[in-house]
Amino acid sequence: MAFNLLPIELNQEIAHYIDSDKDLCAFAATCQETRNAVQSDGGSFWNRRFRSRFALEPGRHDNEVLRKKYQRRRKWLRRMSSISFKYGHGKREVKSMAVITELINESFSGQVLYDEHGRRTCRNLDELSRFIETSTTLSKINEVSLPRYTSGTGVAGSYNWTLAAIQLMYSHVLFDNSRIWNEVYNFEHSQQMAYANAIEQPIFIGLDRQLINMEFILHLMNFFRHHMMHKDESHALYEAYKELSAVQKPSAWDRKLKNHDQHIGNDWRGTYAYLEPQEVIAIRAITDGTNKKKKNTIFIDKNVDGSTGECPIQSLHLDPVGMRSTDSDDSSTDGDKKPILKSSTLPPNMLNMFSSILKAHPTPKEARTRAQHRTRSTTPPRKPQPISIEGEGKDDGTFYASGWMSDVPAQENIEGWKRMSFIKYYTDSFGNVDQGALWGYEGVVLPGGKLCLGRWWAVEQEADEEWEEDDELYSGPFILWNVQAKTAPKEA
């Protein structure tokens, strides 16, 4: 075809239909006119090309900047499919993760799309989903931090928490059992982590507990992914999960990620696993080194195996106190219903007790050097402002939940993380709280508010004088995912 006889607009239109970047380069090299179509005209071709692949805020943009950004992203997305992700400290791994983090942070900039189920999505999510499917190792939990290293420290032998955060952000892809790949690696390590005590593997660490233990949360995801993807001993959860429709399974975030996003979905699904107390002692003996002979032992997790006789997937309805959704047509710019005030159903003494158990209102601490004898800052400490949540669900009868959700600062350059903590409790025939059957829950809500992973523990045991330390508490893992997805607007 004589491209040199065609106007630049027509050559550009032809170029836009060329999906492969390699073929696009060949087209541009055909003649001067095709080169001009791609490289000249103020770089307008690259503006449209960028928008066809990636999310972009509306408005004017420097086309040369977009060209360089497009080419850098596409180069690394191609290279990443062959990169072997291990601990996440290699130069190529680090550069790859920077590109992925950028795509995550810029998702839902500009145009919103809808998938085949009517859920909100965007081009960055689509691009990253395609990459995850072609990556040979990013979907695997290949290694755990070696005992002599502290995870997240950035040294060889420790798991890079940026890698863990990225893997968590795409857990909705990894939980999709309709895909042809669903192999789970290193389950024995994930199971040991799932039952580790809160001293050895705290969920939140650092000053004011504002840093998330990413490697621990990643292993919780891997733990439940194993049970949802593999029939073996956890056939009950596998079968129950397989029967869920696509919109009832974990889904991707559907909004721009940001801190202080107070949107909380109401309808959740989830499950938990447990071992008998003596089994918890035995598995912890493996991780602390006192039982090295059984380091590869795999225990049979209860509840997910159907041993309770009930469906292992429970439903939970949560209402953020003071932010309950209405049926009003008056909506926010983000498409959410405006909240109305909702009062707590618990008496103040119960709320105070639950707050104390969950450490929901910690006293902020200020960093000081050893030379300081007192805090010299005149700035008052910041006050966390957790949102109260209350809910109701089904698990061996009707249970209730009361707790708090609070913001956590950006982690690994990604905003939107939250801490969710609540007490699961039952009531007697008079509506009084059964204080002999209290269960504490603490977890990390991933950016976008679609998935929560964490630890449950026996509150009555915590109050027993016989159990004085957190490293002895009876506990285990849980997972919750929000199923109140945003859908495509209904046609009139």
Centroid of chain to Cα 130: 19
Whether 394 is in a domain gets the answer yes
Residues 52 and 71 in one domain: yes
Residues 417 and 473 in one domain: yes
Query: Domain span at residue 63?
Result: 40-169
- Print pLDDT tens along the chain (492 aa): 678 888 888 988 999 899 888 999 999 888 888 888 898 878 889 999 999 999 999 988 999 999 999 999 999 888 887 888 888 888 888 999 999 999 999 999 989 999 999 999 999 999 988 888 777 677 676 555 554 445 455 455 588 999 999 999 999 988 988 775 667 878 899 999 999 999 999 999 987 889 999 999 999 999 999 999 887 666 789 999 999 999 999 999 999 999 988 788 899 999 999 999 999 999 999 876 555 556 678 999 999 988 777 889 999 999 887 544 443 334 444 545 444 435 567 777 787 888 888 876 555 454 454 554 454 445 554 555 788 899 999 887 889 999 999 999 999 999 999 999 999 999 888 888 888 889 999 999 999 999 999 999 998 765 544 444 556 789 999 999 999 655 555 543
pTM for this model (two decimals): 0.85
Residues 293 and 433 in one domain: yes
Whether 8 is in a domain gets the answer no
Q: Which of 121, 147, 169 is the last residue of a domain?
A: 169
Question: For residues 284, 290, 292 and 295, what is the CA-based torsion angle, rounded to 10 degrees?
Answer: 0
What does the DSSP assignment read for 350-408? HHHHHHHHHT-SPPP-----TT-SS----SPPP---PEEEEEEEESSSEEEEEEEEEE-
Centroid of chain to Cα 390: 22
Residues 126 and 71 in one domain: yes
Whether 13 is in a domain gets the answer no
Residues 161 and 195 in one domain: no
Residues 120 and 232 in one domain: no
Q: Look at the chain and count its residues.
A: 492
| Residue listed under structure tokens 């992914």 | 225
Tell me the torsion sign for CA atoms 122, 128, 134, 140: negative
Whether 374 is in a domain gets the answer no
The continuous run of DSSP H or E covering 50 comes out as helix 44-53
Whether 412 is in a domain gets the answer yes
CB count, 10 Å around CB of 338?
12
> What pLDDT is attached to residue 332?
45
Whether 321 is in a domain gets the answer yes
Separation between Cα atoms, residue 132 and residue 126, nearest integer Å: 10
Amino acid at 372: Q
CA neighbor of 402 nearest in space, from 393, 410, 411: 393
Residues 109 and 147 in one domain: yes
Residues 132 and 249 in one domain: no
> What pLDDT is attached to residue 379?
52
> What pLDDT is attached to residue 217?
96
Residues 237 and 88 in one domain: no
Structure-block tokens of residue 462? 């915590």
Residues 296 and 421 in one domain: yes
Give phi and psi for 430, each to the nearest 5: -95, 0
Separation between Cα atoms, residue 7 and residue 22, nearest integer Å: 23
Q: Treating both helix axes as pointing N-terminal to C-terminal, what angle do 214-229 and 235-242 enclose, rounded to 10 degrees?
A: 80
Q: Give me the number of domains the chain comprises.
A: 2
Continuous H helices in 122-267: 123-134, 161-169, 171-174, 187-194, 214-229, 235-242
Q: Which of 145, 169, 193 is the last residue of a domain?
A: 169
Residues 355 and 453 in one domain: yes
Whether 145 is in a domain gets the answer yes
Whether 376 is in a domain gets the answer no
Q: Which of 121, 145, 169 is the last residue of a domain?
A: 169
CB count, 10 Å around CB of 150?
14
Name the burial class of residue 480, with classes exposed (0-12), middle (13-18) and buried (19+) by CB atoms within 10 angstroms of its CB: buried
Residues 316 and 411 in one domain: yes
Separation between Cα atoms, residue 272 and residue 308, nearest integer Å: 12
